[in-house]
Amino acid sequence: MPMLPLFQVDAFTDRVLTGNPAAVMPLKEWLPDETLRALAAENNLSETAFFVPDGEGHAIRWFTPSCEVPLCGHATLASAFVLFEHLGFAGEVVRFSTRERGTLEVRRSPNGRLVMDFPAGVTKRAIMPEGIERLVGGRPLEAVKMGDDDLLVVLDSAERVRTLAPRLTAFAGFKLRGLVVTAEAAPEDNADIVCRYFAPGYGIAEDPATGSIHTFLVPFWAPRLGKTEIVSRQVSGRGGRLYCRDLGERTEIAGDAVLYMRGEVSL
pTM listed for this prediction: 0.92
Which pLDDT score is estimated for 138? 85
Region 66-72 average pLDDT? 91
Instruction: List where CATH 3.10.310.10 sits in the chain.
Output: 3-119+254-266, 123-241
Q: Is the pLDDT of residue 184 over 90?
A: yes
CA 3 distance to own-chain centroid: 28
Cα(160)–Cα(158) distance, rounded to whole angstroms?
Answer: 5
pLDDT at 215: 94
Rounded CA-CA distance 265/267 in Å is: 7
Distances (CA, A) of 21 to 2, 79, 216: 25, 12, 22
- Mean residue pLDDT across the chain: 93
pLDDT of residue 136: 86
On whether the CB atoms of residues 12 and 255 are closer than 8 A, the answer is yes
d(CA 145, CA 45): 26
Residue 151: enclosing H or E segment and its boundaries?
strand 150-154
Distance CA(147)–CA(151), nearest Å, equals 8
Which of the pair, 81 or 171, is modelled with greater confidence? 81
Residue 84 has pLDDT above 80, yes or no: yes
Element of type H or E holding 132: helix 132-136
DSSP annotation of 129 reads P
pLDDT, tens digit, for every residue of 104-157? 999 999 998 999 999 999 999 888 888 888 888 888 999 999 977 789 999 999
For residue 210, name the pLDDT band (cuts at 50, 70, 90).
very high
pLDDT tens digit string along 223-249?
999 999 999 999 999 999 999 999 999
**Class level of CATH domain 123-241:** alpha beta
Confidence of residue 166 (pLDDT cuts 50, 70, 90): confident
Secondary-structure breakdown of the chain: helix, strand, coil percentages, each rounded to the nearest 5: 25, 40, 35
Res 1: pLDDT: 65
Going from the C-alpha of 124 to that of each of 148, 183, 253, the distances in angstroms are: 10, 18, 22
* Half-sphere exposure at residue 55, Cβ-oriented, CA atoms within 13 angstroms: 8
Buried b (16+ CB within 10 A) or exposed e, 243-266: bbbbeeeebbbbbbbbbeeeeeee
Q: Residue 199: its pLDDT value, please?
A: 87
Q: Name the band, by pLDDT with cuts 50, 70 and 90, for residue 162.
A: very high
Q: Any idea what the Cα angle at residue 170 is, between residues 166 and 175, rounded to 5°?
A: 115
CATH architecture of 3-119+254-266: Roll (3.10)
Task: Check pLDDT > 70 for residue 253.
Answer: yes
DSSP 186: P
Q: Which residues are catalytic?
A: 47
Q: How many residues does the chain have?
A: 267
